[in-house]
Amino acid sequence: MSTHQPRITMKKFFLCTSLALFAAQAWAAPDMLALAKQKNCLACHAVDAKIVGPAYKAVAEKYAGKPGAEQMLVN
């Protein structure tokens, strides 16, 4: 039995899992952008640069892992 087979299988597993996660994230992005446009958030915020308010990346870092943060930020 080859010792390399399980390693190749694990690499394929992690590759497929990563691709699935990125695909799910890319699918959700248009919905988030539509919500930001609807709520007029883009008047003060950008994805990766401070305009008037902080960038969305900075907000994501600040609230990462905090319970209820997503619901609070959407409202």
Q: Is the pTM of this model over 0.75?
A: no
What is the count of structural domains for the chain?
A: 2
3-state secondary structure of 45: strand
In this structure, the answer to whether residues 14 and 44 fall within a common structural domain is: no
Instruction: Please indicate, yes or no, if residue 34 is contained in any of the structural domains.
Output: no
| Per-residue pLDDT reduced to its tens digit, 29-65 | 567 778 888 888 888 988 888 999 898 888 888 888 8
In this structure, the answer to whether residues 23 and 43 fall within a common structural domain is: no
User: Which value, to the nearest 10 degrees, does the dihedral of the CA atoms of residues 7, 9, 14, 16 take?
Assistant: 160
Binding residues, by number, are 41, 45
Binding residues for heme c, by number, are 41, 45
In this structure, the answer to whether residues 45 and 74 fall within a common structural domain is: yes
